[in-house]
Structure 1
Amino acid sequence: MADEAEPAAPGGQMSTEAAAALEVMGRLAAELRNRQPVIARRLDYFRGAHPLHFASEEFAGYFGSRFAGFSDNWCAPVVSSPAERMNVLGIRLGSEQRPDAELARVWRVNGAERGSSEAFAVLLAAARSFALVWGNPDDESTPRITWERPDQAIVGYDAETGQARAGLKLWRDEWEGHEFATLYTPEYLWKWQRKGAGAYVHQEPSAAVLPSGGWEPRHPAGDDAWPLPNPMGAVPLVELRNQTLLDDAPISDIDGVIAMQDATNLVWAYLMNGLDYATLPQRVVTGADMPKIPILDATGQQVGERPLDLDTLVRERILWVPDPNASTSEWSAARLDVFSAVIERAVEHIAAQSRTPPHYLIGRVANLAAEALTAAETGLVSKTNERIVYADPSIREIYALTAQAAGDEDRAAAARAGTVMWADTQFRALSQKVDALLKLRQMGFPFAWLAEQYGLEPPEVERVLAMREAEARLDPIGAISAEIGRTQPAAGAGTLPLPFGVDPFADEGAGGVGAP
């Protein structure tokens, strides 16, 4: 049982340990608030809720309100294309051939298939996402795994070792007007709350009276101590980070797309505005004076007049020509294809910069062979595999913390050195995949491995293997014949492959292949 810290009321007395925890929390909270505007902007662009930018103030003043809420969202496919190929199938521990069944069970009970999928999308868009692992009081053998937003979570690292020293989850209850914080350290969980929100002011930890910023201890139902001891001995908050440049500033997959996205929306605005003007008739008035608006006094009597605002004439598409001798000529329809050509070129730039297959964005596929489509996705597959490299250590740590939360230190140690199993990132036509797997089978690859490469999840692989064994027991001769048929090469391709260890050039008298 941990020693309870003194309550930390504003201006009140608190222990040195509690003051130090509050100091760490304040530092992390300040950094988190610095990140929030950037994270919000990136996620808004991913959702398609990005603002419009116009080339001139005049255009924005005249027509900006017409296009409010419009966005042609290319950021979403740039993020979704690799994210939808990042699927965790399990983790192998040590020399095991199958993924660990217990960790797979906890993963599935927590709905981590969906949670991790959402976390990967946020990871690529916002450059960070988080997972939290903690014990489950209702079932000690099944810890809880939750996925946290990057604008509510942060992890602090040791500058020398890179190890996580503390984690913070900070959120606000809009209904009650309270702000809540939980600081995770390897030793304790410090839970705080305060009314409203205020700026953090740096204070050195000491046993003296410290301004706490309004934070006070939070005691949820079920907590029997404050702070709570951390039985895992590790920070249970895990950060998933996108590519970095050997620093703590991961790069979003859409950082380089945002500028071109803004330019594309700008061209769309000009195109639709030109379309509006080109499809409506233009009215020309000749031989008339410029229209004027009467000026009335308080009694309604006209006391003067003023010219009609020219901006009104522009918006109403009216051209006034006072000179009766003026003449007009035909106005040709505006060419709108120049706008669409610019948009297509911008989308091609987005595809090249983000390694997104062009047919994912343009949507035009004209009689392309399956091999051509596979080649077109080479960049995306390479990019996805690269993102998996970035996420892999964090997934291992999530599995390790899951084992630690269940009290299994040996499994946790094995998970940190384990092999995360990911689904195949290459999408192929079914005929291509089956043909490739059949050739691998003829080379001698085991059926269980082929089932994994086909894309079956570990539970499905086990089920298929059990069904295959059941069929073999019912008809062993048929099973042997079927296996021979599967490994029989095509006509003219030669003889059956020899079993491993058989020398085709052995002496016939010694029981070689040529022996009767």
Structure 2
Amino acid sequence: MSLILLDGTTPPMDAAALGALGADLKKDAQATWAPLRTLQKHIDGQLLRTWMPENVDAEYKDLLRKSASPWLGFARDAIAQGCIVSGYTNTDIWERAWRANGMDGRQDVVTRDAVGFGRGFVAVLPGSDGDSVVMRPMSALDTYAVYADPWDEYPEYVLHRRRPRAAGKPFWQGDWMLIDSEGIYRFKGTPDTPVEMTFESHGMNFAPVVGVSNTLDATPISSIADKVPVYKRIVDGTFTLQMLQRYGAFPQKWMAGGEVDPGVRSSVDGLLHASGEAGETARFGAFPAADLDKAVSALDAHIKHFSAVVQVPPHYLLGAVVNMSAEGIAAAEAGYHRNLSARKKSIGEGYELAMRTAAAMLGESAAAASTTDQVEWENVSSWSLSQVSDFVQKMETITGPLEPLFRMVPGWTKKDAEDAAKAAREMRSASSPGELANLIQSIYLGVGKVLSSEEAREIANRAGAGLRGELEQITPASGGDAGTAPVETAGQPTTTP
């Protein structure tokens, strides 16, 4: 087995020592990944170990297979989509670490793992030029981290499969990476028999892999894992509805007495006839069709129950919003946003640690030690634009700072809010109220109209200038022909004592 050193130093472990450590990690990693793989199948909407009667036909199996849907995945995504990091108070680290690595989009992988599995992982590794870092999500299905203490910030060892598992190959065969407090080992083969091993020092005294946790318990708790039984009830309700649609949506015929030729096959629109002497005593009838509305109502009840336990609004799942007021929607989403608030507190701690780790790797010691820098979250509240506009206008007259207010506009990022606040400040400083009034006067004089003070004030206020006291002393110019006088002289306001 060959060993290649990337930085000219002697690695702490040779291939034999790395294989011995990999053998120890292998068993525990398998025990950790097995339930996560099962949970992922449930999230994807697959049916596992489902009971079926003996001798069922293909049609029954087909209906059962169609009854599964990725409800758990939808609930996980609905929670993860409400926890989107859109900024960091240290803008330098934000640009050099987060934005430079495309984490605006890659964060989705980590957050989904955190919500679904309880913990996601972010690797913070040295860049190629010595003045940059590489931040990458590491799938929880392929990453096993060993913590000496559950409350440690960083793990002792991290075993990670670098590439997706190749179909048709043994589970443990592939490309691997092991990270410890000394450096990064990359190798092929299996964790207990590494080949083609390389080593790279990361320069930290800890393994620079951050766990982003869904909760801050000693063992992070998934928002999805304990909801599987409720999801299975939805599958049962869907299957019942499928069976009723296929076999019970039309009257079922029955016959008592008489004989029917065994070669005759009954059909929905067929007519049975009993001939011969036995036919004189034959009686025919039909059972009523099944009530599909009751099956649909039962299925809706299961979905609403599922909505309650995952704290996702029922209209997100059922798609039914009929004449709901803004207050009604806010009440329906109250539990969802309380859940998001709790998730952001724990998930945010992980992302902030990742940013501090990146700062340490970039040599920014002050930023690495800071406990006041925080991630900022995108606003996902269901507010209408008119509600936000009215709130911003009212709060702006009281508090003054525009950027935090503009952050409340639905769909606006931190950069959008900064640009809008900057433009608003520049507009304010460009003209005094009197100058703006003169400008308005001049514009209208150019088209042959002289404004009264009230008209100028109304136009300025509609434009957001908020003209008040100074405009009270401004009156339209007297004399002259507004339609022919030069703009710069014909309408110059005069002041009264």
What is the TM-score with the length of structure 2 in the denominator? 0.75
Deviation at 1:64, TM superposition (A): 1.8
1:366 aligns with 2:322: yes
Do the aligned partners of 1:185 and 1:230 also contact (CA within 8 Å) in 2? no
Q: Give the 3 Å change call, closer, same or farther, for CA 59–321 of structure 1 in structure 2.
A: farther
Q: Give the 3 Å change call, closer, same or farther, for CA 376–281 of structure 1 in structure 2.
A: closer
Output the amino acid matched with 1:47: D
- Selected match of 1:429 from 375, 384, 388: 384
User: How many residues align structurally?
Assistant: 429
- Whole-Å Cα distance in 1 between the matches of residues 206 and 13 of structure 2? 24
- Whole-Å Cα distance in 2 between the matches of residues 129 and 320 of structure 1? 68
- Whole-Å Cα distance in 2 between the matches of residues 361 and 51 of structure 1? 23
Matches within 5 A, 1:495-506: none
- Selected match of 2:132 from 126, 142, 164: 142
- Whole-Å Cα distance in 2 between the matches of residues 283 and 265 of structure 1? 29
1:348 aligns with 2:327: no
| Structure 2 counterpart of 1:463 | 419
Q: Give the 3 Å change call, closer, same or farther, for CA 397–62 of structure 1 in structure 2.
A: same
Matches within 5 A, 1:76-115: 76-92=73-89, 99-115=90-106
Do the aligned partners of 2:461 and 2:467 also contact (CA within 8 Å) in 1? no
Matches within 5 A, 1:49-60: 49-51=46-48, 53=50, 56-57=53-54
Output the amino acid matched with 2:33: Q
Output the amino acid matched with 1:247: A
- Selected match of 1:215 from 180, 194, 213: 194
| Structure 2 counterpart of 1:276 | 246
450-459 or 228-237, larger mean C-alpha shift: 450-459
- Whole-Å Cα distance in 2 between the matches of residues 103 and 166 of structure 1? 27
CA deviations 1:106-125 (Å, max 9, x no partner) are: 31232111111232123212
CA deviations 1:157-198 (Å, max 9, x no partner) are: 12275242222212565289542221111212223321xx5x
- Selected match of 2:203 from 228, 231, 244: 231
| Structure 1 counterpart of 2:287 | 331
| Structure 2 counterpart of 1:418 | 373
SS in 2 for 1:410: helix
Compute the RMSD of aligned alpha carbons: 3.8
Output the amino acid matched with 1:153: T
Output the amino acid matched with 1:233: N
- Selected match of 1:241 from 213, 219, 241: 213
- Whole-Å Cα distance in 1 between the matches of residues 237 and 150 of structure 2? 49
Deviation at 1:83, TM superposition (A): 1.5
| Structure 2 counterpart of 1:182 | 177
Deviation at 1:149, TM superposition (A): 0.8
Structure 2 unpaired stretches of 5+? 1-7, 438-456, 469-497
334-343 or 465-474, larger mean C-alpha shift: 465-474
Do the aligned partners of 2:45 and 2:70 also contact (CA within 8 Å) in 1? yes
Deviation at 1:284, TM superposition (A): 6.6
Do the aligned partners of 1:132 and 1:146 also contact (CA within 8 Å) in 2? yes
More helix by share: 2
Output the amino acid matched with 1:149: S
Higher RCO (C-alpha 8 Å, min separation 6) = 1
Q: Give the 3 Å change call, closer, same or farther, for CA 313–419 of structure 1 in structure 2.
A: same
| Structure 2 counterpart of 1:152 | 142
- Selected match of 1:193 from 188, 196, 199: 188
Deviation at 1:217, TM superposition (A): 4.7
| Structure 2 counterpart of 1:121 | 112
CA deviations 1:350-395 (Å, max 9, x no partner) are: 1211221122122222222111111211100000010011111110
| Structure 2 counterpart of 1:392 | 348
| Structure 1 counterpart of 2:454 | none
What is the TM-score with the length of structure 1 in the denominator? 0.72
SS in 2 for 1:191: strand
- Whole-Å Cα distance in 2 between the matches of residues 320 and 104 of structure 1? 83
Q: Give the 3 Å change call, closer, same or farther, for CA 230–154 of structure 1 in structure 2.
A: same
